[in-house]
Structure 1
Amino acid sequence: MLQAPQRTALSGPALIRLLARLADVDVPESRQSLSDRLSQWLGWTDAIALSSALSGTPPAVAAGARSFGSAEESEYVRARSSLAKTITGDSVFAADRRRHPAHASAQAASQNAPAEPAADYAVFRQRYLSIQQSMEMAIGNLRGRLRSMLAARTPAMARLAVVDAVMERALSERERNLLAAVPVLLAGHFERLRAAEQATLAAAEPAEPAEPAEAGESAESADGAGSNAASSAASNPAAPTPGAWLNVFRKDMQSVLLAELDVRLQPVEGLLAALRAS
């Protein structure tokens, strides 16, 4: 089987749970509170800026601010949908449907060759990093626009906008470094899936070669053996499909990217909630 084993249930974002399952590790629940964890992540300059934003005089609010409405909601929906389509529609992550699985198995059995060419993880890693950059840019721009709208609402909302700006500056580098480690974790999943299929295919090979045929029947027997192997592979639904592991990995990588998109959008969703309530 090419499915990762079930691990101990873990709470938290779907991204963390998914990575724990694909990396085949048990991740203990953190005993630290959010404030304790943030105190380790924020430098002293960040702490000063955050303290000033929370305790200082709220920024002045300009008169005649544009009201929040459906246009901003629609912009968020468009941005989210566009990024999701970038992930699900990417050709690198598309399943290989050029050959029917039964035909691929039959071809591999008759030719004693893999149905899928050697895969290079570097291609997947580079595409993952490229999509991460697209998400960071698009979401950062949307977050900045919503923050500007929030700053023009009320003094309390203006203070919240300043706090959000401080937190983005303080945590962006750590967030970038942590998320850059995701494709490193997926490299191990890539290799485990490939190794599992190779082991399955090796176990399915005949233990001993067929007895040599008589000279007069060699050509006919060879053709018959090849046809029988192909027919058996095509008619046996349990026969391993060479290259199937790569489609499993593509789907898993898409799932991780979509889960990462949800995590990246959380600050934007927080700003939207504040604008709706203001």
Structure 2
Amino acid sequence: MHRTQTPAQTGPAGSRLVQLLASLDPKAAASSHPCFAERLGRLFDLSDTIALDAATQHRPNGPFSPRDDITDILQADLLKTRNTLLENLSHSFAGKQAASVINLPAVNGDAPAGKRPTFGPYERFHQAHQRQMIAALANLRLRARRLLTAYSAELARLAELDAVFEQSLQPYVRRCFTALPAFLEKRYRALWQQGQHTPPQDWMAANGWLNQFCQEIQMLLLAELDARQEPILGLLGAATAASGNANTGSTFADIDDKESTTP
């Protein structure tokens, strides 16, 4: 079997997150190995390969109960979960108080104008939102797999494969997303250099350096949410195809509309 070599990318292709990182810092989107299959293969060790082989050989026995509304159920669950995360994110940046809201660090108006405030509170803010995403989307993905497992043998095998991929790629995914705070700190220092001579009361003004930084945190979190939900969109797509849903186009258009929403 011959593998076709994919030509090297010449620009910031891929997810919205990759494109955003490249726009903020071109060095952050350094070109990687052009062959996706080879890059993916490097992420699987021997135990992962054995688990993947077992999943491909999996022959579920049922019983199965195909549901005509499986697409509607999955889509509604995804949109509800996503809307909750978006609402929490929006409230965080708007300074609204709620039990599930993570507060944006407050600016100390009495801080010395020439001294950079510590990055730590913003790092903790960003990581708290990441943890909120991880918990919500992991539960959603599990619920999606359960629906697929009960639908048919074909979708049950897909759910088994998805579980193996989630487990095997977890260290890599964690490593990628935990690199974002370091990127944000670099941006924090760069923006401070541009606005360090402005008084603290102007930092959160429309053109203030800290206001711009907070906007960048918000954009990165939105792009991260899009990236983290991709596996669930894949499961939704498989369920839609299996059920022969006539509203396939509108299903994904609705999700795309939500992906473009900024709190």
TM-score (norm 1): 0.70
Q: Which one-letter code corresponds to 2:47 in the other structure?
A: T
Structure 1 alignment gaps of length 5 or more: 1-7, 97-103, 203-240
Identity %: 29
Structure 2 counterpart of 1:260: 224
Question: Aligned to 1:178, which of 176, 185, 192?
Answer: 176
Question: Aligned to 1:271, which of 235, 239, 243?
Answer: 235
- Aligned partners of 1:268 and 1:85: how far apart in 2? 20
Is the radius of gyration larger for structure 1 or structure 2?
1
- Aligned partners of 1:262 and 1:196: how far apart in 2? 30
Contact kept? 1:15, 1:263, Cα under 8 Å: yes
Question: Aligned to 2:129, which of 131, 142, 145?
Answer: 131
**1:120, distance to aligned residue in structure 2 (A):** 2.3
1:61 paired to 2:62: yes
Contact kept? 1:58, 1:155, Cα under 8 Å: yes
Contact kept? 2:119, 2:185, Cα under 8 Å: yes
Once the two structures are superposed, residues 124-143 of structure 1 have per-residue CA deviations (whole angstroms, 9 ceiling, x without a partner) of 10011111111111100010
**1:253, distance to aligned residue in structure 2 (A):** 0.5
Residues 57 and 177 (structure 1), Cα distance of their counterparts in 2 relative to 1, 3 Å cut: closer
Once the two structures are superposed, residues 90-138 of structure 1 have per-residue CA deviations (whole angstroms, 9 ceiling, x without a partner) of 1354998xxxxxxx9xxx9xxxx74x99532101100111111111111
Once the two structures are superposed, residues 241-266 of structure 1 have per-residue CA deviations (whole angstroms, 9 ceiling, x without a partner) of 55510000000000000000000000
- Aligned partners of 1:175 and 1:144: how far apart in 2? 17
- Aligned partners of 1:165 and 1:249: how far apart in 2? 36
Kindly report structure 1 stretches of 4+ aligned residues shifted beyond 6 Å: none
Residues 252 and 147 (structure 1), Cα distance of their counterparts in 2 relative to 1, 3 Å cut: same
The number of aligned residues is: 218
Q: Which one-letter code corresponds to 1:136 in the other structure?
A: I
Contact kept? 1:59, 1:155, Cα under 8 Å: yes
Q: CA RMSD in A?
A: 2.9
Question: Aligned to 2:79, which of 77, 80, 87?
Answer: 77
Residues 192 and 185 (structure 1), Cα distance of their counterparts in 2 relative to 1, 3 Å cut: same
Contact kept? 1:95, 1:247, Cα under 8 Å: no
- Aligned partners of 1:194 and 1:78: how far apart in 2? 37
Residues 26 and 130 (structure 1), Cα distance of their counterparts in 2 relative to 1, 3 Å cut: closer
Structure 2 alignment gaps of length 5 or more: 1-9, 96-102, 243-263
Q: Of the two structures, which has the highest relative contact order with CA contacts closer than 8 Å and spacing of 6 or more?
A: 1
Q: How does 1:1-278 map to 2 (within 5 A)?
A: 9-25=11-27, 27-54=29-56, 56-64=57-65, 66-67=67-68, 68-90=70-92, 91=95, 92-93=103-104, 114=113, 119-198=117-196, 241-242=202-203, 244-278=208-242
Structure 2 counterpart of 1:229: none
Residues 137 and 196 (structure 1), Cα distance of their counterparts in 2 relative to 1, 3 Å cut: same
- Aligned partners of 2:215 and 2:104: how far apart in 1? 7
Residues 250 and 149 (structure 1), Cα distance of their counterparts in 2 relative to 1, 3 Å cut: same
TM-score (norm 2): 0.74
Matched residue SS, 2:62: coil
